[in-house]
């Protein structure tokens, strides 16, 4: 891994107001560019807004749609990787909770949420892969909200070479402080057990469809220690300098890097 500056956005994303949400993204991307950010991560489904009802069917777009084209222009113009969420529709009409990875040069990849929460299953189909992405010397994965509760997914990404895992959320209810305490029960464990950086962010405010989100972002280092937090119901930007030496100091320590000592033949699961 090489040193890199990343940013996590805490933003309001009303359901169905795609133009409004894209314009809001552009504002934060410009702010991040001025601060020399290389990778910017937005919350889960920040473009279409988050809802688990039929509204998402009409809001969903294909990967070749106008939203992706606009993100490509932003990434190229700002020389930055953009991680952004939307309801995605494939050619068969399946709807996914997806996070796009848009790099300069019109390179577009996608992560489709693997673990669909019970309340989402009437609308969203699960993804079936855990891809990793590379940019300027770092390898990273993405997990969306409910995904973070399943330890095997983080371990799979870490074994495959992830240095960082971005965890965009659309997690409603509670205050920012209460949400942080809830997140820390499992996010610090994901970082510590797998020796990876974790960067998580949430939507904030009302989605105009009955949900209110507490504004929160947190960055955790490979030792499970908190690097920085953002706790406010106002929109904001959390900037994190991720250092290669921080990761190296854990992974080269024989008592702190656990993955090489796994014995999967003992606890192999179906």
Place of tokens 């969306």: 144
- DSSP SS3 for 144: coil
Q: Using one digit for the tens of pLDDT, what is the confidence trace for 87-134?
A: 999 999 999 999 999 999 999 999 999 999 999 999 999 999 999 999
- Architecture of the 4-261 domain: 4-Layer Sandwich (3.60)
- Length, in residues, of the chain: 270
Helices H, strands E: what count in the chain? 6, 14
Place of tokens 């994303």: 13
Q: Using one digit for the tens of pLDDT, what is the confidence trace for 143-198?
A: 999 999 999 999 999 999 999 999 999 999 999 999 999 999 999 999 999 999 99
Model pTM? Answer: 0.97
- Is the C-alpha dihedral spanning 51, 62, 238, 115 positive or negative? positive
């Amino acid at each position: 891994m090489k040193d890199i500056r990343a940013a996590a956005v805490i933003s309001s994303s009303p359901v169905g107001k795609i133009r409004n949400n894209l314009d809001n993204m552009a504002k934060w991307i410009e702010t991040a560019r001025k601060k020399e950010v290389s990778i910017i991560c937005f919350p889960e489904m920040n473009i279409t807004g988050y809802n688990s009802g039929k509204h998402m069917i009409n809001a969903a777009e294909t990967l070749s749609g106008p939203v992706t084209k606009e993100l490509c222009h932003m990434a190229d113009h700002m020389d930055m990787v953009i991680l952004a969420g939307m309801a995605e529709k494939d050619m068969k009409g399946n709807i996914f909770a997806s996070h796009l990875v848009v790099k300069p040069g019109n390179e577009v990849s996608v992560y489709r949420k693997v673990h669909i929460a019970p309340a989402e299953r009437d609308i969203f189909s699960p993804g079936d892969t855990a891809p990793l992405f590379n940019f300027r010397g770092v390898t990273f994965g993405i997990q969306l909200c409910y995904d973070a509760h399943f330890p095997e997914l983080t371990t799979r990404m870490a074994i495959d070479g992830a240095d960082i895992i971005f965890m965009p959320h659309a997690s409603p209810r509670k205050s920012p402080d209460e949400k942080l305490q809830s997140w820390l029960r499992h996010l610090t464990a994901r970082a510590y057990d797998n020796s990876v950086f974790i960067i998580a962010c949430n939507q904030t405010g009302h989605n105009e469809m009955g949900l209110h989100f507490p504004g929160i972002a947190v960055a955790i280092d490979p030792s499970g220690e908190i690097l920085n937090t953002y706790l406010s119901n106002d929109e904001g930007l959390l900037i994190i300098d991720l250092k290669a030496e921080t990761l190296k100091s854990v992974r080269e320590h024989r008592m702190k890097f656990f993955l090489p000592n796994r014995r999967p033949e003992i606890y192999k699961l179906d």
